[in-house]
Chains A and B, each alone.
Chain A
Amino acid sequence: MNSSSKDKITTSQAVVIIINYILATGILTLPRASVEKVKTPDVWISVFLGGIVAMIAGVIIVKLSQQFPDKTFYQYNQEIIGKWLGWLISACVIVYFFTISAFEVRIMAEVTSLFLLEGTPTWAIILPFLWVGLYLISGGINSIARLFEIIFPITFVIFLLVAFLSLGIFEIDNLRPVLGLGVMPMLKGIKTATLAFLGPEIMLLLVAFMYPSDKSKAVKVVLVGITIPLLFYVITVVMVIGALSIEGVMTRTWPTIELMRSFEIPGLIFERFESFLLVIWIMQIFATFTITYYAAVLGLAQLFKKSIHPFLYGLLPIIYIIAMTPKNVNDLFKFGDKIGHAALILFGVIPVALLLISKLKGDKT
């Protein structure tokens, strides 16, 4: 119903959507979250492995979706495992999507009120953000894809620029020794690192929106779409740990911003670059927020077989209330962890099961 010809996206758009979805809170929180688990400078290896785990999950998801090339996850899972169970899984996925969008909004509000707008109430920060997102989503997947294509190059250039500038305080000794305490600590960090790569699950829906001739390239889309954020994350982790050291990272809530604050380059128009980082980061959060919001709305519309509009507006207060529920930043991070665990089950286990079932069913008929 929502896959009319104008709602098609190109391969590059699909890649950009995945990249923008993945890049979100992780840029600011991944260094601390993973260092807390690993406690050695080998974090970057964990991040690398986490990316590979995400790629495997992504490929499974794509394979599943390619079985039903013209349908979204919400439509085809009922065909695999029956009406009620399918309905239930769809409902869980929808809840997951709008919960994560609420989580992103709240993280954005926390960071913004800490670094940009001291004293502005949280609701005043969140509401306009929600409305701009709503305006974008009412244009459908095509508008979302195009907006992502506009903000991706900006992110790319500015990110590389600030990462390059922070080379000045980079010390390679902070990253040594490699595997000094063996492999075990590094393995502990994989789960945390994988959670930063939430995003390939959007392929459950995106394959239905791709041009028929491009659907075979969906695996490639996922691989490229994860590789680029992987590079971003590895660069971030290496730069942050290299500059702030393991101990320094653990004591800071937002280590990446602290990194940007800790150096000054005199002689340029700007001496400090955290504003640049925050600009691209807010754009990335906006991207993640809109795509998850859209995924949830689309799911509701397809589940109830109604038009997309009532859900578009109806979901706003729910997202807002969920976003306002965590009491403080620590609560928020715990909340994020819970979402991550839910994602591991929803998108790590269920797609494998569904793929197996559909293969078995396909063999029978």
Chain B
Amino acid sequence: MSNRVINILVPIISIIIGLIVGAIVMVVSGYDPVQGYSALWTGIFGDSYSIGNTIRQITPYILAGLAVAFAFRTGLFNIGVEGQLILGWLAAAWVGYAFELPKIIHLPLALLAAAAAGALWAFIAGFLKAKFKVHEVIATIMLNYTALYIANAVIKKLSDGSFKTERIHDSASLRSPFLRELTDNSSLHYGIIVALLMVVVMWFILEKTTRGYELKAVGFNKHAADYAGMNVNKNIILAMTISGMFAGLGGAMEALGTFGNASIKAGFTGIGFDGIAVALLGANTPLGVVFGASLFGSLKYGALNMPNAAGIPEEIVSIIIALIIFFVASGYIIRVALQKLSKKKEGQ
């Protein structure tokens, strides 16, 4: 079996095992897995309304996945997508309601603000890594909570003690009556186009620019990159900043598309952490991220139908997602198994 085939097989096998274990969990807990999975299926593809909302759910997942994947490709683990996304969300919402501008300026400005907020937050982690050798995993975890509490405090301040900001003006909104009608009043918005555009942007940066080549080189082997005359520190900071930009835009999708405001959160949104799963499943490639986001976004949205239609708590899907991450991360053992299997076949 070639390496290429194995690389594609590992995630697929992981998904299958994840779904099987999920079914076993349902049986053991006294639920009917057939009913459960069919409720999940209808929750995702049942009607145009569900499909619209599923795509809406996939949108921030793509951006969160891109953020994690981009950092991974440059040798960094951005576990701080969550915090960057929260600040992007807040920045987009603020620009969305505080200014009154024509749509052609307002919407791009709001998106830009979100990207800048996310980029700034990630920049801190990149800077700490480059200048002080602070491991980015720990720094971004700490920055996640810092972002959460700061965002909550700012929202409280902006709204005079309320728990959410004012609604954004229509001129900053990603929503469209056309998409709504098309999907039976779902909350589908134009964010998906922004997300797919960013998929192309990531591909372009990494594959078609000198800077992208340098970023990847630093990720592969920073000593070799240094020897070749590349500025390792500058590239680390830049890589984190670009990654944070994707994350910030993920927050903008929620602010300008789905919710139309920013509200105080008791805990994390979970999108940032699921982004790690998305990137991992997609092998950190732009196209892979689209597939990963589609899978996890669909599962997450479809799960909401499970309590009503099958009486199964929707958390079953989070269990399945966590298991899939485990299996993909333990890809080494699946590779070993696959190689043994193919050797046996050759021996016959």
Q: Do A and B come from one complex?
A: no
